[in-house]
Amino acid sequence: MTEISQSAPVDHSAEEAAIATCVRAFYELARTDDLLGPVFNGSVKDWAQHLKIMDDFWSGALLGTQRYTAAPFPPHLKLEMMQAHFDRWQALWVPTAQATLPESIRGKAVSIAEHMSHCWGRAYTAMKSQMAQA
């Protein structure tokens, strides 16, 4: 008879707490930023809910949890932004992640942010251009 071993669930509570700290520290900066502040403050109506969604997004991206199931890009198409917004987001996120996240997930958070800023900025610009022509 073959035994099936079950590994104990991994405790990510320290990483989850760090993600929450990072998300909140980032939004404290972003909300007062000259470029990002008007976008975030003009579009986010319920900050507690938004921060929870961002916790879930980053937990999924960094730890593989399944709490965030939405498509993150489409809601951003409602906003008026340009590549500079994505660049500034990255410029604020990266040092915040480096200062608040444990080494085990820090590099991944930076890599994801750099990828998102570049790819989302290009895709956003292209889609907004197509929408304007339609």
Averaged pLDDT, 54-72: 94
Domain parsing of the chain, residue ranges: 13-133
Mean pLDDT, the chain, whole residue set: 91
| 69-115 residue pLDDT tens | 998 888 888 888 999 999 999 999 999 999 999 999 999 999 999 99
| Gap between the Cα atoms of 76 and 50, Å rounded | 13
CATH of domain 13-133: 1.10.490.10
User: What pLDDT score does 94 carry?
Assistant: 98
User: What pLDDT score does 4 carry?
Assistant: 60
Q: Which residue has the tokens 């404290």?
A: 28
